[in-house]
Structure 1
Amino acid sequence: MGLAKNPGESAKRVLVIKLSALGDFVLALGAMRAIRENHPKAVMTLLTTPPYEGLAKATGFFQHIETDGRPKGVKATRELLKRMKAARYDIIYDLQTSGRTANYFKALNLPFSTPPLWSGHAEGSAFFHDNPQRGNMHSIDRLADQLKTAGIGPDKVKGGWPPMPDMSFVRRSQGDKPSLTPAFFSVKEPFALFIPGASAHRSAKRWPAERFGGLAKHVADAGITPVIIGGKAESEIAVEINRIEPRARNIVTRTDLFQIVALAEKALFAVGNDTGPMHMAALSGCPGVALFATSESDPEKACPRGSNIIVAKADTLDELSVRDVWQAVLMLSVIPEAAAGGQS
């Protein structure tokens, strides 16, 4: 940390950088709240990308949201850097800590310039997060450690340590819209969320559709409606699950990020791959079973937090059987024994 001191309440202009992806963005919400609390009088700006603008606005943390955090081309990059320099931020928190954002720091740190205080992994920054274990830490813990290095420790954060993301802002910002109810999707309680999506280019992270279909049968037989959510990339998967278990409700492509949170608040449980909506469900208080391919990602670093979560893992997800995941669901203790009916 050197001789630099966090400006705290005296800061007038603060920038937070968080570009993507959905799961990482959501996991950074606790750190964003801690930054807001530490700079209560500052005008706070978020530099992000278009998919997260609505979510960021709803938090109430930021006065300004800029969505060109990944500019295309030299001209657009130059314009972004010019704007960042002109803003004269007192401190910049790089929560993305990528090669791109390290380059932003380098561009603002040219000779004969007066760069803002910078919190991140870029060498030479005022609050250099140089913990050699940072790459082995869960996102929430890594961001907390980064904030601590920048002078925002447990004594300056409300609600415990590490700063946990809290999805309650969705209800505060959206109110009681009919679109935030299960009835809007013709879904009756009790229901369970099925989240079969994952990175399209990493098939090992996707539990096979036919296994989700087999699990849907168990769930439906217990009197619980399986509700399938996801984006366009999950359309075919949802159709396959529905073919195997017609009692499942397919609402893929129909939910926005706020509706995912609202449904998760009402769901009995969720089952999903290592993907953003699964993190959102857990942080909304929904119990769940998180499916992890350990050849692709480490549950210790990426497991959803915030509620009762059981991890079902294998080297690749095609090694996980329906029985494995169903047993994990039963271990959540959210299905009455009579409804479970001794299924295995």
Structure 2
Amino acid sequence: MTILVIKHSALGDMILALPLFRAIRAHHPGERIVLLTTAPYVELTRASGCFDAIWTDSRPKLWQPGALLRLARLLRSEDFSRIYDLQGSQRTRRIYYRLMGSPRDRWVGNAAGCRHHIPDPVEPVHIAEHRRRQLALVGIPDPGLPDLSFLTADTGRYGLPPRYALLVPGGAPHRPAKRWPATAFAAMASHLAGRGITPVLIGQRAEQQAIDAITAACPAAVSLLGQTSVAELAALARSAALAVGNDTGPMHIIAAAGCPSLVLYSAESDPRKVSPRGDWVRLLQRPTLETLSAADAIAALPPPRGG
């Protein structure tokens, strides 16, 4: 018996999908489980230990018949007893469903005509709840919250003080409206430093300008620009007093690691649909993040570890 799980998605969605992978693995003990995903998530999903094989999907276009043919051959190379479509996109529910010969009785998802069908929600529903309902169609119980205990790393090389907070001022480069201004992050960093909590800035090269501005305004801040892997970020989050960041993938990792977190949203995204989960997570939204004052964000901070 071989099971196929389809999940492409962005980093935050992949973190939210980890409990689904774990639940599918538990539901199919001893069976071979294959994941079809995209290249950025191979390492993370392999480390989860939930899959026997991981196939990389280049997501070929309709005008790339050769690539589509190769994908079709791959998808038909094994006789899957069940297919879990955890992406539910136009691509997977239409193209991939047809490439696999419309496997009606084996498909669990939103493809028209499949036996285990879950319709797309009309009202805003968190993606984790929607996927929970999807798995319930075939008797898989509530998968719960993400567990990143499989991600371990030695972060001693950073030489951080015992009490620090993670600040994540970046986000998708093509969606600047999802970013709180660097000046506001600098004010937050200064506030934390005044409380004896060292601000530690997380980001990639695209965030260099913002991080440089924050460290210039708050010399107590420590920049780890471009240095942290996914596993290191999870390890740092386990020891951090708290975290503040935009609606971006790293905040999903940090929150899933159990760090008290404040996640900031503009009208560009809907936290009712996709957001980190847990009693230790607080969400704060404004129509535009330029209107969110540092004072309001400070007032919304979760209680830090250690008081």
Counterpart-to-counterpart distance in 2, 1:288 and 1:333: 9
Are the equivalent residues in 2 in contact too, given 1:19–1:47 (CA < 8 A)?
yes
User: What secondary structure does 2:298 align onto?
Assistant: helix
Spell out, residue by residue over 1:89-133, the C-alpha distance to the aligned partner (whole angstroms, 9 max, x if none): 1111111111111210022226xxx66711111111221112544
Q: Aligned partner of 1:315: which letter? A: P
1:310 aligns with 2:286: no
Number of the residue aligned with 1:41: 30
Counterpart-to-counterpart distance in 1, 2:22 and 2:58: 20
RMSD: 1.7
User: What secondary structure does 2:114 align onto?
Assistant: coil
Counterpart-to-counterpart distance in 1, 2:65 and 2:198: 51
Spell out, residue by residue over 1:5-35, the C-alpha distance to the aligned partner (whole angstroms, 9 max, x if none): xxxxxxx101111112000011001111111
Counterpart-to-counterpart distance in 2, 1:236 and 1:116: 52
Counterpart-to-counterpart distance in 1, 2:206 and 2:262: 21
Counterpart-to-counterpart distance in 2, 1:184 and 1:116: 52
Number of the residue aligned with 1:282: 255
TM-score by length of 1: 0.84
Stretches of structure 1 that go unaligned for 5 or more consecutive residues are 1-11, 155-160, 172-176, 337-344
Are the equivalent residues in 1 in contact too, given 2:242–2:304 (CA < 8 A)?
no
In the TM superposition, 1:102-251 aligns within 5 A as 102=93, 103-109=95-101, 117-130=106-119, 132-133=121-122, 136-149=124-137, 151-154=138-141, 161-171=142-152, 177=153, 180-181=154-155, 183-251=156-224
Counterpart-to-counterpart distance in 1, 2:256 and 2:69: 37
Q: Equivalent of 1:85, from 76, 98, 108?
A: 76
Stretches of structure 2 that go unaligned for 5 or more consecutive residues are none
Are the equivalent residues in 2 in contact too, given 1:204–1:316 (CA < 8 A)?
yes
Counterpart-to-counterpart distance in 2, 1:254 and 1:333: 24
Q: Aligned partner of 1:306: which letter? A: G
Spell out, residue by residue over 1:202-224, the C-alpha distance to the aligned partner (whole angstroms, 9 max, x if none): 22210001110111001111111
Deviation (angstroms), 1:153: 3.5
Question: Cα–Cα, structure 1 residues 195 and 139, in superposed 2: closer, same or farther, change >3 Å?
Answer: same
Counterpart-to-counterpart distance in 2, 1:123 and 1:188: 55
User: What secondary structure does 1:167 align onto?
Assistant: coil
Q: Say which structure is richer in helix.
A: 1
TM-score by length of 2: 0.94
Number of the residue aligned with 1:264: 237
Q: Aligned partner of 2:165: which letter? A: A
1:53 aligns with 2:42: yes
Are the equivalent residues in 2 in contact too, given 1:19–1:70 (CA < 8 A)?
no
Q: Aligned partner of 1:212: which letter? A: F
Deviation (angstroms), 1:303: 2.5
- % same residue: 40
Number of the residue aligned with 2:295: 323
Number of the residue aligned with 2:67: 76
Deviation (angstroms), 1:165: 1.5
1:98 aligns with 2:89: yes
Q: Aligned partner of 1:210: which letter? A: T
Are the equivalent residues in 2 in contact too, given 1:207–1:273 (CA < 8 A)?
yes
Q: Alignment length, in residue pairs?
A: 304
Counterpart-to-counterpart distance in 1, 2:110 and 2:285: 31
Counterpart-to-counterpart distance in 1, 2:143 and 2:203: 29
Are the equivalent residues in 2 in contact too, given 1:195–1:273 (CA < 8 A)?
yes
